[in-house]
Amino acid sequence: MSDIRQTKQKAAILGYLRSVKTHPTAEIVYSAVKKEMPNISLGTVYRNLEEFSKNEIIGKLEVAGRKRFDGDISVHGHFICEKCGRIDDLFFKKKIKIDFPKKYSINGIDLTIKGRCKKCEK
C-alpha cells in the first residue's frame, strides 16, 4: 500500500480480506469490519475495496452480477459454481506457458472455470 494513504479503516478492511479464504462481497466485508469499527460506513468499505482493486492490492471478480473480492493476489485461478455461486481458488502445479503472437501486448490473464460444486451436483 505504498501509494495509498494508510488509515485504520483501510488496515481493517485489508486485514479482514487477507484473513479469509472466501471471496466476500463488500457487504460481507462491511459486516465483519463493523464489529471492530462500529462507525465505519458501507460507502467507506466500497471505496476502499475499489481503490485496493484498482491498485492491484486485492483481486476483484464478478459473479452473477455481484462484485466479490479476493485478498490473495498470488497467481491463481478460480472455480465458480454456477448454481450456488461458491468460489474456490485454483492453484497451478506447473507453470502454464502460452505462446501469444507478438502482435499482442498482454497485461494479465484471469483463469475462471465454471461448473457445479460437489454439493450442488447432488
Q: Return the SS3 of 69.
A: strand
Say if residues 25 and 36 touch (Cβ distance below 8 Å): no
Residue tagged 460507502 (cell numbers): 43
Query: At which residue does the C-alpha cell 500500500 appear?
Result: 1
Q: Is residue 1 part of a domain?
A: no
Domain extent at residue 96: 77-121
Cβ–Cβ < 8 Å for 84, 117: yes
Cβ contacts of 95 within 8 Å, gap of 6 or more: none
Look at 17-21, 34-38, 50-54, 90-94 and tell me which has the smallest mean pLDDT. Answer: 90-94
3-state SS string for 1-53: CCCCCCCHHHHHHHHHHHHCCCCCCHHHHHHHHHHHCCCCCHHHHHHHHHHHH
Residue 72, classified by CB atoms within 10 Å of its CB into exposed (0-12), middle (13-18) or buried (19+), is: middle
pLDDT in tens, 40-85: 999 999 999 999 999 999 999 988 889 999 999 988 999 999 998 8
The count of domains in the chain is: 2
Question: Are residues 51 and 104 part of one domain?
Answer: no
In this prediction the pTM is 0.83
- Both 53 and 35 in a single domain? yes
Phi, psi angles (nearest 5°) of residue 88? -120, 145
Q: What is the CATH number of the domain that holds 115?
A: 3.30.1490
Asked, for residue 57, whether it belongs to a domain, the answer is: yes
Is residue 2 in a domain? no
CATH number at residue 57: 1.10.10.10
